Amino acid sequence: MKELAERICSQVDTITKILDSQSVQQPSFRPDAPSAIPDDKQVQAARIAIIEAANDIILLAQGPAEYIRNEAFVKKHDVSVLSILNHYDVWNAIPLEGKVSYDDVSKKIGIPRNYIRRILRHAMTRRIFCEPTTGYVAHTTNSAAAVKDGSLSAWIGHNIDEVGRALSWQVEAIDKWGETEDPSNAALCLAMDLPEGNTIFEFLQNDGEGEKKGWRAKRFSLAMAAMSKTGSFSSKHIHDGFDWASLGEATLVDIGGSSGYDDIELARHYPSMKFIIQDRDEVIISFKDSLPCGLDSRITFQSHDFMIPQPVNGADVYFLKHILHDWPDPVSTKILQNIVLAMTPFQNNRGSRLLIMDSVMPEMGEVPLTIMQLNTAMDLQMMAALGAKERTRADWEALLRAADQRFRIINVRQPVGSADAVIEVVLDLQT
Protein backbone atom coordinates (compact mmCIF):
# COMPACT_ATOMS: atom_id res chain seq x y z
CA MET A 1 0.00 0.00 0.00
CA LYS A 2 2.87 2.34 0.81
CA GLU A 3 4.37 1.77 -2.63
CA LEU A 4 1.02 2.54 -4.26
CA ALA A 5 0.58 5.65 -2.12
CA GLU A 6 4.03 6.92 -3.19
CA ARG A 7 3.19 6.29 -6.83
CA ILE A 8 -0.05 8.26 -6.41
CA CYS A 9 1.80 11.18 -4.73
CA SER A 10 4.35 11.45 -7.49
CA GLN A 11 1.72 11.38 -10.28
CA VAL A 12 -0.45 13.88 -8.40
CA ASP A 13 2.61 16.17 -8.25
CA THR A 14 2.96 15.89 -12.03
CA ILE A 15 -0.68 16.80 -12.68
CA THR A 16 -0.72 19.62 -10.14
CA LYS A 17 2.38 21.24 -11.64
CA ILE A 18 1.14 20.99 -15.23
CA LEU A 19 -2.31 22.37 -14.39
CA ASP A 20 -0.73 25.22 -12.39
CA SER A 21 1.63 26.05 -15.26
CA GLN A 22 -1.39 26.21 -17.60
CA SER A 23 -3.47 28.18 -15.03
CA VAL A 24 -6.11 25.44 -15.14
CA GLN A 25 -8.24 24.90 -12.04
CA GLN A 26 -7.20 21.89 -9.95
CA PRO A 27 -9.71 19.01 -9.75
CA SER A 28 -12.17 19.30 -6.87
CA PHE A 29 -15.78 18.38 -6.06
CA ARG A 30 -16.94 22.01 -6.25
CA PRO A 31 -19.75 22.42 -8.81
CA ASP A 32 -17.76 25.00 -10.77
CA ALA A 33 -14.73 22.67 -11.17
CA PRO A 34 -14.08 21.50 -14.76
CA SER A 35 -16.01 18.39 -15.87
CA ALA A 36 -12.86 16.76 -17.28
CA ILE A 37 -9.11 16.88 -16.83
CA PRO A 38 -7.39 18.46 -19.87
CA ASP A 39 -6.51 16.26 -22.86
CA ASP A 40 -2.76 16.99 -22.47
CA LYS A 41 -0.96 13.64 -23.02
CA GLN A 42 1.26 13.88 -19.93
CA VAL A 43 -1.70 14.78 -17.72
CA GLN A 44 -3.71 11.88 -19.14
CA ALA A 45 -0.87 9.38 -18.56
CA ALA A 46 -0.49 10.58 -14.95
CA ARG A 47 -4.24 10.45 -14.46
CA ILE A 48 -4.46 6.84 -15.62
CA ALA A 49 -1.55 5.89 -13.32
CA ILE A 50 -3.34 7.54 -10.38
CA ILE A 51 -6.63 5.75 -11.07
CA GLU A 52 -4.77 2.46 -11.44
CA ALA A 53 -2.91 2.78 -8.14
CA ALA A 54 -5.87 4.30 -6.27
CA ASN A 55 -8.15 1.43 -7.33
CA ASP A 56 -5.65 -1.08 -5.98
CA ILE A 57 -5.16 0.79 -2.74
CA ILE A 58 -8.92 0.89 -2.16
CA LEU A 59 -9.16 -2.86 -2.75
CA LEU A 60 -6.27 -3.58 -0.39
CA ALA A 61 -7.65 -1.28 2.29
CA GLN A 62 -11.09 -2.90 2.03
CA GLY A 63 -9.76 -6.44 2.24
CA PRO A 64 -11.12 -9.28 0.12
CA ALA A 65 -14.16 -10.32 2.16
CA GLU A 66 -15.54 -6.80 2.44
CA TYR A 67 -14.65 -5.97 -1.14
CA ILE A 68 -16.60 -8.88 -2.61
CA ARG A 69 -19.50 -8.40 -0.19
CA ASN A 70 -19.76 -4.71 -1.05
CA GLU A 71 -19.54 -5.33 -4.77
CA ALA A 72 -22.75 -7.33 -4.54
CA PHE A 73 -24.36 -5.13 -1.91
CA VAL A 74 -23.56 -1.52 -2.81
CA LYS A 75 -22.96 -1.34 -6.59
CA LYS A 76 -26.51 -2.20 -7.64
CA HIS A 77 -27.74 0.73 -5.55
CA ASP A 78 -25.15 3.06 -7.11
CA VAL A 79 -26.62 2.18 -10.50
CA SER A 80 -30.26 2.26 -9.42
CA VAL A 81 -29.86 5.66 -7.76
CA LEU A 82 -28.21 7.06 -10.89
CA SER A 83 -31.14 5.81 -12.93
CA ILE A 84 -33.72 7.38 -10.57
CA LEU A 85 -31.90 10.74 -10.50
CA ASN A 86 -31.82 10.65 -14.28
CA HIS A 87 -35.44 9.59 -14.75
CA TYR A 88 -36.78 12.45 -12.59
CA ASP A 89 -34.16 14.86 -13.93
CA VAL A 90 -33.03 15.71 -10.43
CA TRP A 91 -29.91 17.17 -12.12
CA ASN A 92 -31.88 20.20 -13.26
CA ALA A 93 -34.20 20.40 -10.24
CA ILE A 94 -31.30 21.71 -8.15
CA PRO A 95 -29.63 25.04 -8.98
CA LEU A 96 -25.96 24.92 -9.95
CA GLU A 97 -25.20 27.55 -7.36
CA GLY A 98 -26.41 27.58 -3.76
CA LYS A 99 -28.54 24.97 -2.02
CA VAL A 100 -32.18 23.90 -1.95
CA SER A 101 -34.26 22.08 0.68
CA TYR A 102 -35.30 18.46 0.27
CA ASP A 103 -38.91 19.72 0.53
CA ASP A 104 -38.44 21.89 -2.54
CA VAL A 105 -36.74 19.13 -4.54
CA SER A 106 -39.58 16.77 -3.62
CA LYS A 107 -42.24 19.25 -4.78
CA LYS A 108 -40.38 19.99 -8.00
CA ILE A 109 -39.91 16.39 -9.14
CA GLY A 110 -43.10 14.99 -7.61
CA ILE A 111 -41.77 12.14 -5.48
CA PRO A 112 -42.05 11.90 -1.66
CA ARG A 113 -39.47 13.89 0.32
CA ASN A 114 -38.52 10.83 2.35
CA TYR A 115 -37.72 8.89 -0.85
CA ILE A 116 -35.72 11.57 -2.63
CA ARG A 117 -33.76 12.32 0.54
CA ARG A 118 -32.80 8.65 0.93
CA ILE A 119 -31.95 8.33 -2.75
CA LEU A 120 -29.83 11.49 -2.73
CA ARG A 121 -28.00 10.45 0.42
CA HIS A 122 -26.80 7.27 -1.26
CA ALA A 123 -25.73 9.28 -4.31
CA MET A 124 -23.79 11.60 -1.99
CA THR A 125 -21.62 8.69 -0.86
CA ARG A 126 -20.38 8.65 -4.48
CA ARG A 127 -19.88 12.46 -4.42
CA ILE A 128 -22.93 12.96 -6.59
CA PHE A 129 -24.66 15.94 -4.92
CA CYS A 130 -23.82 16.92 -1.33
CA GLU A 131 -25.62 18.08 1.81
CA PRO A 132 -23.99 21.42 2.73
CA THR A 133 -26.31 21.78 5.77
CA THR A 134 -28.84 19.34 7.20
CA GLY A 135 -32.07 19.32 5.18
CA TYR A 136 -30.47 20.92 2.12
CA VAL A 137 -28.89 19.61 -1.04
CA ALA A 138 -26.41 21.16 -3.49
CA HIS A 139 -24.49 20.11 -6.59
CA THR A 140 -20.97 18.71 -6.67
CA THR A 141 -18.92 18.77 -9.85
CA ASN A 142 -20.12 15.21 -10.59
CA SER A 143 -23.83 16.02 -10.48
CA ALA A 144 -23.18 19.36 -12.20
CA ALA A 145 -21.61 17.47 -15.14
CA ALA A 146 -25.09 16.17 -16.07
CA VAL A 147 -26.44 19.74 -16.12
CA LYS A 148 -23.53 21.16 -18.12
CA ASP A 149 -23.76 18.38 -20.73
CA GLY A 150 -27.36 17.30 -21.39
CA SER A 151 -26.21 14.32 -23.50
CA LEU A 152 -24.89 12.60 -20.34
CA SER A 153 -28.49 11.99 -19.36
CA ALA A 154 -29.01 10.10 -22.66
CA TRP A 155 -25.88 8.05 -21.93
CA ILE A 156 -27.15 7.11 -18.46
CA GLY A 157 -30.62 6.33 -19.84
CA HIS A 158 -29.37 4.06 -22.62
CA ASN A 159 -26.88 2.26 -20.39
CA ILE A 160 -29.14 1.64 -17.42
CA ASP A 161 -32.68 1.45 -18.89
CA GLU A 162 -31.73 -0.54 -21.96
CA VAL A 163 -28.40 -2.36 -21.53
CA GLY A 164 -28.83 -2.65 -17.73
CA ARG A 165 -32.20 -4.33 -18.20
CA ALA A 166 -30.64 -6.66 -20.76
CA LEU A 167 -27.90 -7.64 -18.29
CA SER A 168 -30.42 -9.02 -15.84
CA TRP A 169 -31.47 -11.42 -18.65
CA GLN A 170 -27.93 -12.47 -19.63
CA VAL A 171 -28.05 -15.81 -17.81
CA GLU A 172 -31.40 -16.71 -19.47
CA ALA A 173 -29.97 -15.74 -22.87
CA ILE A 174 -26.89 -17.92 -22.38
CA ASP A 175 -29.04 -20.84 -21.21
CA LYS A 176 -31.42 -20.42 -24.16
CA TRP A 177 -29.04 -19.72 -27.07
CA GLY A 178 -25.48 -20.48 -25.85
CA GLU A 179 -22.81 -18.76 -27.98
CA THR A 180 -24.83 -16.99 -30.65
CA GLU A 181 -24.00 -15.39 -33.98
CA ASP A 182 -27.52 -14.03 -34.36
CA PRO A 183 -28.01 -10.41 -33.16
CA SER A 184 -31.69 -11.11 -32.48
CA ASN A 185 -30.66 -13.79 -29.97
CA ALA A 186 -29.25 -11.34 -27.43
CA ALA A 187 -30.22 -10.77 -23.80
CA LEU A 188 -31.74 -7.41 -24.74
CA CYS A 189 -34.24 -9.15 -27.04
CA LEU A 190 -35.45 -11.25 -24.10
CA ALA A 191 -35.49 -8.28 -21.72
CA MET A 192 -37.59 -6.14 -24.07
CA ASP A 193 -39.63 -9.10 -25.35
CA LEU A 194 -38.83 -8.16 -28.96
CA PRO A 195 -40.65 -9.76 -31.91
CA GLU A 196 -38.77 -12.65 -33.56
CA GLY A 197 -35.86 -11.43 -35.71
CA ASN A 198 -35.77 -7.87 -34.29
CA THR A 199 -32.57 -6.37 -32.89
CA ILE A 200 -31.95 -3.41 -30.59
CA PHE A 201 -32.01 -1.06 -33.60
CA GLU A 202 -35.63 -1.96 -34.54
CA PHE A 203 -36.52 -1.59 -30.86
CA LEU A 204 -34.92 1.88 -30.72
CA GLN A 205 -36.73 2.88 -33.90
CA ASN A 206 -40.18 1.50 -33.09
CA ASP A 207 -40.69 1.98 -29.35
CA GLY A 208 -43.16 4.73 -28.44
CA GLU A 209 -46.47 5.90 -29.87
CA GLY A 210 -47.26 8.84 -32.18
CA GLU A 211 -44.80 11.71 -31.85
CA LYS A 212 -42.79 9.77 -29.24
CA LYS A 213 -42.01 6.99 -31.71
CA GLY A 214 -38.26 6.77 -32.28
CA TRP A 215 -37.37 8.68 -29.10
CA ARG A 216 -35.06 5.87 -28.10
CA ALA A 217 -33.13 6.07 -31.40
CA LYS A 218 -32.59 9.78 -30.86
CA ARG A 219 -31.52 9.18 -27.27
CA PHE A 220 -29.12 6.46 -28.44
CA SER A 221 -27.44 8.91 -30.85
CA LEU A 222 -27.15 11.50 -28.06
CA ALA A 223 -25.66 8.79 -25.84
CA MET A 224 -23.04 7.98 -28.50
CA ALA A 225 -22.26 11.70 -28.76
CA ALA A 226 -21.84 11.85 -24.96
CA MET A 227 -19.38 8.97 -25.08
CA SER A 228 -17.29 10.71 -27.72
CA LYS A 229 -16.85 13.94 -25.75
CA THR A 230 -14.10 13.08 -23.26
CA GLY A 231 -11.95 10.24 -21.97
CA SER A 232 -10.88 7.00 -23.61
CA PHE A 233 -13.64 7.07 -26.25
CA SER A 234 -13.20 10.77 -27.09
CA SER A 235 -13.47 11.82 -30.75
CA LYS A 236 -10.15 13.63 -30.17
CA HIS A 237 -8.31 10.30 -30.40
CA ILE A 238 -9.30 10.10 -34.06
CA HIS A 239 -6.56 12.66 -34.82
CA ASP A 240 -3.77 10.38 -33.58
CA GLY A 241 -5.24 7.29 -35.21
CA PHE A 242 -4.40 8.25 -38.77
CA ASP A 243 -2.37 10.81 -40.71
CA TRP A 244 -5.40 12.81 -41.88
CA ALA A 245 -3.33 15.73 -43.20
CA SER A 246 -1.72 13.40 -45.75
CA LEU A 247 -5.09 12.94 -47.48
CA GLY A 248 -5.39 16.54 -48.69
CA GLU A 249 -8.62 16.89 -50.67
CA ALA A 250 -10.54 13.78 -49.85
CA THR A 251 -14.04 12.42 -49.31
CA LEU A 252 -14.80 10.37 -46.23
CA VAL A 253 -17.94 8.25 -45.95
CA ASP A 254 -18.82 7.75 -42.27
CA ILE A 255 -20.89 4.58 -42.32
CA GLY A 256 -23.24 4.48 -39.31
CA GLY A 257 -21.96 7.96 -38.46
CA SER A 258 -24.89 8.81 -36.16
CA SER A 259 -25.34 12.59 -35.69
CA GLY A 260 -21.89 13.30 -37.15
CA TYR A 261 -19.88 14.40 -34.08
CA ASP A 262 -16.73 12.63 -35.37
CA ASP A 263 -17.07 14.25 -38.81
CA ILE A 264 -17.57 17.67 -37.22
CA GLU A 265 -14.37 17.14 -35.21
CA LEU A 266 -12.43 16.16 -38.36
CA ALA A 267 -14.00 18.84 -40.56
CA ARG A 268 -12.85 21.55 -38.14
CA HIS A 269 -9.23 20.42 -38.46
CA TYR A 270 -9.03 19.38 -42.13
CA PRO A 271 -10.66 22.05 -44.29
CA SER A 272 -9.92 20.23 -47.57
CA MET A 273 -11.96 17.19 -46.60
CA LYS A 274 -15.61 16.44 -47.37
CA PHE A 275 -17.81 14.11 -45.36
CA ILE A 276 -20.88 11.99 -46.08
CA ILE A 277 -22.62 10.73 -42.94
CA GLN A 278 -24.68 7.62 -43.54
CA ASP A 279 -27.11 6.11 -41.05
CA ARG A 280 -30.60 4.71 -40.64
CA ASP A 281 -33.55 6.88 -41.78
CA GLU A 282 -34.72 7.76 -38.27
CA VAL A 283 -31.24 8.96 -37.26
CA ILE A 284 -30.74 11.05 -40.40
CA ILE A 285 -34.19 12.65 -40.01
CA SER A 286 -33.41 13.62 -36.39
CA PHE A 287 -30.01 15.20 -37.06
CA LYS A 288 -29.80 16.33 -40.70
CA ASP A 289 -30.48 19.98 -39.81
CA SER A 290 -28.21 20.11 -36.79
CA LEU A 291 -24.80 20.86 -38.33
CA PRO A 292 -22.80 23.77 -36.91
CA CYS A 293 -22.82 26.82 -39.11
CA GLY A 294 -20.08 26.89 -41.74
CA LEU A 295 -19.60 23.12 -41.95
CA ASP A 296 -22.79 22.31 -43.88
CA SER A 297 -21.12 22.84 -47.26
CA ARG A 298 -18.62 20.03 -46.53
CA ILE A 299 -20.78 17.62 -44.53
CA THR A 300 -23.86 15.92 -45.93
CA PHE A 301 -26.23 13.34 -44.50
CA GLN A 302 -27.46 10.32 -46.44
CA SER A 303 -29.91 7.60 -45.42
CA HIS A 304 -28.25 4.29 -46.10
CA ASP A 305 -28.73 0.78 -44.76
CA PHE A 306 -25.27 -0.80 -44.53
CA MET A 307 -26.83 -4.22 -45.00
CA ILE A 308 -27.14 -3.36 -48.71
CA PRO A 309 -24.36 -2.32 -51.16
CA GLN A 310 -22.57 0.99 -50.56
CA PRO A 311 -23.93 3.66 -52.96
CA VAL A 312 -20.88 6.00 -52.87
CA ASN A 313 -18.23 4.56 -55.18
CA GLY A 314 -14.49 5.23 -55.03
CA ALA A 315 -14.43 7.40 -51.88
CA ASP A 316 -10.98 8.02 -50.38
CA VAL A 317 -12.02 6.77 -46.95
CA TYR A 318 -14.80 4.51 -45.73
CA PHE A 319 -14.93 5.01 -41.96
CA LEU A 320 -16.48 2.46 -39.62
CA LYS A 321 -16.34 3.58 -36.01
CA HIS A 322 -18.01 1.38 -33.40
CA ILE A 323 -19.96 -0.37 -36.15
CA LEU A 324 -18.41 -3.81 -36.59
CA HIS A 325 -18.20 -4.40 -32.82
CA ASP A 326 -22.03 -4.20 -32.87
CA TRP A 327 -22.36 -7.22 -35.09
CA PRO A 328 -21.41 -10.93 -34.88
CA ASP A 329 -19.02 -12.23 -37.56
CA PRO A 330 -21.55 -13.34 -40.22
CA VAL A 331 -23.28 -9.92 -40.19
CA SER A 332 -19.97 -8.01 -40.03
CA THR A 333 -18.74 -10.00 -43.04
CA LYS A 334 -21.81 -8.92 -44.98
CA ILE A 335 -21.34 -5.25 -43.98
CA LEU A 336 -17.72 -5.39 -45.20
CA GLN A 337 -18.68 -7.11 -48.46
CA ASN A 338 -21.18 -4.33 -49.15
CA ILE A 339 -18.34 -1.80 -48.87
CA VAL A 340 -15.79 -3.76 -50.94
CA LEU A 341 -18.02 -3.37 -53.97
CA ALA A 342 -17.56 0.42 -53.84
CA MET A 343 -13.84 0.52 -53.00
CA THR A 344 -11.13 1.37 -55.49
CA PRO A 345 -8.12 -1.00 -55.16
CA PHE A 346 -5.00 0.56 -53.62
CA GLN A 347 -1.90 1.20 -55.72
CA ASN A 348 0.94 3.77 -55.48
CA ASN A 349 -0.62 5.24 -52.36
CA ARG A 350 -3.88 5.93 -54.23
CA GLY A 351 -7.25 4.24 -53.89
CA SER A 352 -9.82 3.72 -51.17
CA ARG A 353 -8.96 3.13 -47.55
CA LEU A 354 -11.19 1.42 -45.02
CA LEU A 355 -10.56 2.84 -41.55
CA ILE A 356 -12.03 0.75 -38.75
CA MET A 357 -12.03 2.46 -35.36
CA ASP A 358 -12.84 -0.08 -32.68
CA SER A 359 -10.99 -1.79 -29.92
CA VAL A 360 -8.24 -4.26 -30.76
CA MET A 361 -8.83 -6.35 -27.68
CA PRO A 362 -5.60 -6.47 -25.66
CA GLU A 363 -4.37 -9.46 -23.66
CA MET A 364 -4.53 -9.12 -19.88
CA GLY A 365 -1.59 -7.00 -18.70
CA GLU A 366 -0.95 -5.29 -22.04
CA VAL A 367 -2.81 -2.11 -21.07
CA PRO A 368 -3.65 -0.54 -17.69
CA LEU A 369 -6.63 -2.23 -16.01
CA THR A 370 -8.62 1.03 -16.23
CA ILE A 371 -8.40 0.89 -20.04
CA MET A 372 -8.90 -2.90 -20.08
CA GLN A 373 -12.04 -2.45 -18.02
CA LEU A 374 -13.51 -0.18 -20.68
CA ASN A 375 -12.69 -2.79 -23.32
CA THR A 376 -14.19 -5.66 -21.33
CA ALA A 377 -17.26 -3.55 -20.45
CA MET A 378 -17.76 -2.71 -24.11
CA ASP A 379 -17.29 -6.37 -25.01
CA LEU A 380 -19.98 -7.48 -22.55
CA GLN A 381 -22.22 -4.59 -23.65
CA MET A 382 -22.05 -5.93 -27.21
CA MET A 383 -22.79 -9.47 -25.98
CA ALA A 384 -25.92 -8.32 -24.12
CA ALA A 385 -27.18 -5.90 -26.77
CA LEU A 386 -26.47 -7.73 -30.04
CA GLY A 387 -24.75 -11.07 -29.38
CA ALA A 388 -21.61 -9.32 -30.69
CA LYS A 389 -18.06 -8.78 -29.38
CA GLU A 390 -14.83 -6.80 -29.30
CA ARG A 391 -12.11 -8.39 -31.46
CA THR A 392 -8.43 -9.21 -31.02
CA ARG A 393 -5.92 -8.50 -33.80
CA ALA A 394 -6.26 -12.14 -34.93
CA ASP A 395 -10.08 -11.83 -34.95
CA TRP A 396 -9.86 -8.71 -37.14
CA GLU A 397 -7.52 -10.42 -39.58
CA ALA A 398 -9.79 -13.47 -39.83
CA LEU A 399 -12.91 -11.32 -40.28
CA LEU A 400 -11.37 -9.24 -43.05
CA ARG A 401 -10.04 -12.34 -44.83
CA ALA A 402 -13.47 -13.99 -44.65
CA ALA A 403 -15.08 -10.88 -46.16
CA ASP A 404 -12.58 -10.55 -49.03
CA GLN A 405 -9.19 -12.19 -49.64
CA ARG A 406 -7.91 -8.90 -51.08
CA PHE A 407 -8.29 -6.97 -47.81
CA ARG A 408 -4.91 -6.13 -46.28
CA ILE A 409 -4.24 -4.39 -42.95
CA ILE A 410 -1.48 -1.84 -43.58
CA ASN A 411 -1.42 -0.15 -40.18
CA VAL A 412 -2.89 -0.35 -36.70
CA ARG A 413 -2.51 2.70 -34.50
CA GLN A 414 -3.52 2.84 -30.85
CA PRO A 415 -3.66 6.50 -29.76
CA VAL A 416 -2.34 7.10 -26.23
CA GLY A 417 -5.22 7.05 -23.71
CA SER A 418 -7.68 5.67 -26.27
CA ALA A 419 -9.66 2.48 -25.73
CA ASP A 420 -9.93 2.16 -29.52
CA ALA A 421 -7.39 1.63 -32.27
CA VAL A 422 -7.59 2.70 -35.90
CA ILE A 423 -7.11 -0.21 -38.29
CA GLU A 424 -6.13 0.93 -41.77
CA VAL A 425 -7.23 -1.52 -44.44
CA VAL A 426 -6.84 -1.42 -48.22
CA LEU A 427 -7.94 -3.60 -51.07
CA ASP A 428 -5.02 -5.19 -52.92
CA LEU A 429 -5.12 -5.27 -56.72
CA GLN A 430 -4.41 -8.98 -57.04
CA THR A 431 -7.25 -11.48 -56.55
Ligand X SMILES: C[S@@+](CC[C@H](N)C(=O)[O-])C[C@H]1O[C@@H](n2cnc3c(N)ncnc32)[C@H](O)[C@@H]1O
Residues classed as catalytic = 325
391 binds ligand X (CB under 6 A): no
Whether the CA torsion 102, 107, 113, 115 is positive or negative: it is negative
In this chain, which of 140, 258, 359, 414 binds ligand X, going by CB under 6 A?
258
Minimum distance of ligand X from residue 170's CB (angstroms): 19
Q: ∠ CA(285), CA(304), CA(430), 5° rounding?
A: 155
- What x/- string results for residues 33 through 72 when contact with ligand X is judged by CB under 6 A? ----------------------------------------
Size of the site for ligand X (CB under 6 A): 18
How many CB atoms within 10 Å of residue 59? 12
Nearer to ligand X, 32 or 305 (CB): 305
**Binding map of ligand X across residues 109-148, x = CB under 6 A, - = no contact:** ----------------------------------------
State how far the Cα of 290 lies from the Cα of 10, in Å rounded to an integer: 45
Query: Which span (59-67, 79-87, 147-155, 253-261) binds ligand X, by CB under 6 A?
Result: 253-261
Of 61 and 307, which CB lies nearer to ligand X in the complex structure? 307
- Which 3 state secondary structure label does DSSP give 328? coil
Which CB, 274 or 280, lies closer to ligand X? Answer: 280
Instruction: Tell the smallest beta-carbon distance from residue 378 to ligand X (Å).
Output: 10
Beta strand pairing call for 317-321 and 250-255 = parallel
Output the smallest distance, CB 373 to ligand X, in A: 19
Instruction: By CB under 6 A, tell whether 321 contacts ligand X.
Output: yes
Least gap, CB of 172 to ligand X (angstroms): 24
191 near ligand X (CB under 6 A)? no
Beta strands 273-279 and 136-137, pairing class = unpaired
Do 159 and 148 touch, CB atoms closer than 8 A? no
| Residue numbers 208-237 binding ligand X by CB under 6 A | 221, 224, 228
Report d(CA 236, CA 222) in Å as an integer. Answer: 17
Handedness of CA 119, 124, 129, 135 (dihedral sign): positive
> Does the CA dihedral 76-78-82-88 come out positive or negative?
positive
- Find the binder of ligand X among 47, 280, 389, 391 (CB under 6 A): 280
CB 239 within 8 A of CB 418: no
Any contact of residue 159 with ligand X (CB under 6 A)?
Answer: no
Q: Does 31 bind ligand X (CB under 6 A)?
A: no
DSSP 8-state assignment for residue 129: S
CA distance 173 to 17: 50
Stretch that binds ligand X, among 86-94, 132-140, 254-262, 287-295 (CB under 6 A): 254-262
Instruction: Convert 246-267 into a string of H (helix), E (strand) and C (coil).
Output: HHCCEEEEEECCCCCHHHHHHH
Residues 322-351 that bind ligand X (CB under 6 A): 322-323, 326
Binding footprint of ligand X on the chain (CB under 6 A): 201, 221, 224, 228, 256-258, 279-280, 283, 304-307, 321-323, 326
